[in-house]
A and B are shown apart, each in its own frame.
Chain A
Amino acid sequence: KNEVEQSPQNLTAQEGEFITINCSYSVGISALHWLQQHPGGGIVSLFMLSSGKKKHGRLIATINIQEKHSSLHITASHPRDSAVYICAVLSYNTDKLIFGTGTRLQVFP
């Protein structure tokens, strides 16, 4: 079993829809990252959080440390949000980033 699991693996949405991507992990963590990867490979860090909730524009990230679960929400989705979203946790024991396999999101106009 992977230490970081994401769901769903693939997601298709219509423009304007509310989107949720989930991340569950099984290790103790110091922090959790949400990353966005567009075709071509470039990765952008969206959020880094260790508790509570963060908001940036239409994106919201939450984390529940007790339940070892995080969610990334996109409100009013847009075709430019189409990308792979990757959850990564910083292991408390090893100080290494462990990555989920990613969620491929496609938003259609």
Chain B
Amino acid sequence: DTEVTQTPKHLVMGMTNKKSLKCEQHMGHRAMYWYKQKAKKPPELMFVYSYEKLSINESVPSRFSPECPNSSLLNLHLHALQPEDSALYLCASSQDIRSGTRGETQYFGPGTRLLVL
């Protein structure tokens, strides 16, 4: 099973709202990722978690707050977003970025399409 699930599929929120995106995998992967994808563009890396610890933050604004409660779950908490934050948010997981495994594959979820009004 190479499935990564994401909820919700769609989200509409106002600029003063607080919402959360959820990602789950049951492949035993220890690395999890958040990407942001604007229309007709490739995904852009936001955060990387390795063994439930934040290892990479690509200078993402603090209105995005990631959380990794356990090795299977990854959340992205949203607060005071701007209309330009509207995008497809993709979660991915991979086996273990510390093992040195060559060509580690990232498996992506279907994404949450976010619209900020």
> Do these two chains really belong together in a complex?
no
| Residues of chain B whose beta carbon lies under 8 Å from any beta carbon of chain A | none
